[in-house]
Amino acid sequence: MCKPEKQPSAKSLGEHAIIELMRSRFEAMPDVVVPFGDDVSALPFGEGDVAVLKADMLVGKTDVPAGMSFWQAARKAVVMNVSDFASKGAVPRAVMVSLGLPPNLTQSDLVALADGLNAGAREYGCYVVGGDTAETSGLIVSVQVYGASKKDGLMLRGGAVVGDVLAVTGLFGKSVAGLQLLLNGSLRVPERSCGALVDAVLMPQARLREGLALRASGAVSACMDSSDGLVWCLNELGVQSGVGFVVSNLPVAKEAQEFAELNMLDAAELALYGGEEYELVLTVKPDLWAAAEAAVAGVGGKLLPIGKATAGKRVLLDLNGKQRVIHARGYEHFKT
């Protein structure tokens, strides 16, 4: 009997397999400086300089929860791209945007989108310099950011070595808790924490000042942003650097902890797998820890040590002396 081969669908493959499949088909640029697989792409421009490029698209249906305004959605689309620049320590300069707009959007919706794009760009010293619009059934905000940088010192994903201090620029779990609050009215949270949780979803911040200061410190061996979740980051940094990690101090936000306790959820799960957070996850050369910490403090931020890079090639969580393996799993489009 003839049985046609059943092709896997985008849905069954999931986002990471799709990206891997596609990049395997692209011919590699011979002189590329940062190829596929890092937070940004970079190519040479003049002597020792690189052009830095990032493209990341916000899709209304999946990335804009109930309660998020057009202004906030457009701003967020810029912030998610800036966050990738932050993680490399590169200055973003110009924003291009392709907007897919449903035909029933009103003029004030369009103004809100434009103002949100402008606000996101200006918050980080950029300008919107060009773009394009088209008609789509749901909102699409496809943003590209361009910047120029010295080639030396870009903080890539693959530089961590055994013994490096694992660190983050903030606490985790607020975005996922805030998102659950927005989506499910029956969840509870103390009044005083509500704003912080919802703000984490609606008004995310890119750690650009911190990323630029960290790069300037020369203390960082590897870095990425945590938009796909903390565990995904640790897995990526580990694979690309050829190391493992032990996390001995899980960076759980107190608001996420309270939210978890009140709603019988696991706070560690929220912090590990939440995603849509824009902290930097990085490794620091142990002898330069003080320099890295001072650099971040100098721009008003805080660098938190959470563990260290190991030879074990796995990610272990050390909770009160008991170690367990954390498996790679992050937020993936298509599969969720």
Q: Residues 77 to 116: which contact a second copy by CB under 8 A?
A: 93-94, 96-111, 113-115
Q: Does 239 bind a second copy (CB under 8 A)?
A: no
Q: Are 121 and 153 in contact (CB under 8 A)?
A: no
For residues 106 and 320, which CB has a smaller minimum distance to a second copy in the complex? Answer: 106
Instruction: Give min distance, CB of 99 to a second copy, in A.
Output: 8
Please say whether the beta carbons of 116 and 75 come within 8 A. Answer: yes
User: What does the block give as tokens for 27?
Assistant: 């011919």
The minimum distance between CB 286 and a second copy, in angstroms, equals 32
Any contact of residue 130 with a second copy (CB under 8 A)?
A: yes
Contact flag: residue 146 with a second copy (CB under 8 A): yes
| Residue whose CB is less far from a second copy, 117 or 284 | 117
Rounded CA gap, 230 and 236, in Å?
10
Tokens of 241: 């650097």
The letter for the amino acid at 126 is C
- Whole-number Å distance between alpha carbons of 336 and 14: 9
Residue position matching structure tokens 């978890």: 260
Binding-site member from 2, 4, 7, 321 for a second copy (CB under 8 A): 7
Examine residue 21 and tell whether it contacts a second copy (CB under 8 A).
yes
32 binds a second copy (CB under 8 A): yes
CA 170 to CA 230: how far, in whole Å?
A: 11
Interface region with a second copy, contact rule CB under 8 A, candidates 52-60, 166-174, 215-223, 310-318: 52-60
Is residue 118 involved in binding a second copy (CB under 8 A)?
Answer: yes
Cβ neighbours of 109 (radius 10 Å) = 16
Task: With contacts defined by CB under 8 A, name the span among 129-137, 154-162, 282-290, 319-327 that binds a second copy.
Answer: 129-137
**Beta partners for 283?**
166, 222
The least distance separating a second copy from the CB of residue 296, rounded to whole angstroms, comes to 27
